[in-house]
Structure 1
């Protein structure tokens, strides 16, 4: 199946958001509060004539999707990019073509394409700086066989979700990282 076919079968952003059962409020909160820098808005306007489209492989339970999807949507608005969503777990045939490190079905993955369905760039699942933050948090966890591993891991996920939802500098990092794929 080519990318155009995947795009056609995917949900619109509204359909995806309306189908969400987890993290919807948190994601929409970031969407409402995230504002691109003025200089970035001007740069994205230059993308409009390209008529790019993007397939977002995502799931509503994913904390990284909670952070990245609203930023993608704002970038898409500024760049005239049509966004469609596919649920990872229902579209493994496509997901398995975009594995992180060749092994992981990490999401979200954004597949940018032109009108003919040619891939022009791929982004995800995290900006490098956010990946470093996650790795730093994971390094502080006790060993997996430790009695308090699960408790500490839950605390780590909660802390990351708070960062993701409250730290506007993280949002800018993500926006800059996504922009680098389409503003070549």
Structure 2
């Protein structure tokens, strides 16, 4: 990947306002997290340090994604406090970039946050989940019946609905995201 390879992707992206305006799913959840998330004094000190770096960011996301309803508003608020302009790209419309940031080398899991410097060089990447949120969904999935069970689809749908509800209303879960993003930004 050339040094400035990320700059065209950044320029192509939507602003946060444009992304939210275009949302058809999960707008209420995303807005709730955005309006309610709070930072500690320690968080604010880190965001102030990040602001000195002149970074920007590219977000691969989609409105249907429950993890995006949690992570996008938190990282957007972090970016605002850190003077980092984020631009949003819809995953399925930008697979060439998405496929460079696969989770575990195989999964197009989102959201993915790619932080770049002024030259367009990647400086940090975060996503799609904090380790604690990953543990939560792994635990919930382990309770599902076998995929060929007659009630699998219904139970899976209920698990994901409850998961999205929990992650978009629980400030303790939001804190895991803040801490995980903070660690990535501190490098």
Distance 1:76 1:21 in 2: 23
Query: Where does the alignment leave 5 or more consecutive residues of structure 1 unmatched?
Result: none
Q: Please point out which of 107, 112, 115 is paired with 2:115.
A: 112
Asked if residue 173 in structure 1 is aligned to residue 143 in structure 2, the reply is no
Q: Report deviation, 1:29.
A: 0.7
Q: Report deviation, 1:164.
A: 1.0
Which of 37-46 and 131-140 deviates more?
A: 37-46
Q: Which runs of 4+ in 1 moved over 3 A?
A: none
Query: Where does the alignment leave 5 or more consecutive residues of structure 2 unmatched?
Result: none
Q: Report deviation, 1:85.
A: 0.3
CA contact (8 A) 1:44 1:183 kept: no
Asked if residue 135 in structure 1 is aligned to residue 142 in structure 2, the reply is no
Asked if residue 72 in structure 1 is aligned to residue 75 in structure 2, the reply is yes
**Once the two structures are superposed, what CA deviation does each residue of 1:1-52 show, in whole Å capped at 9, x if it has no partner?**
8101110111111111111111111101110010111221122111111011
- TM score, norm. by length of structure 1: 0.97
**Corresponding residue for 1:148?**
151
**Once the two structures are superposed, what CA deviation does each residue of 1:67-104 show, in whole Å capped at 9, x if it has no partner?**
00000011101111110000000000000111111111
Asked if residue 124 in structure 1 is aligned to residue 127 in structure 2, the reply is yes
Q: Report deviation, 1:148.
A: 1.0
CA contact (8 A) 2:60 2:89 kept: yes
CA contact (8 A) 2:114 2:124 kept: yes
CA contact (8 A) 2:46 2:182 kept: no
SS in 2 for 1:112: strand
- TM score, norm. by length of structure 2: 0.96
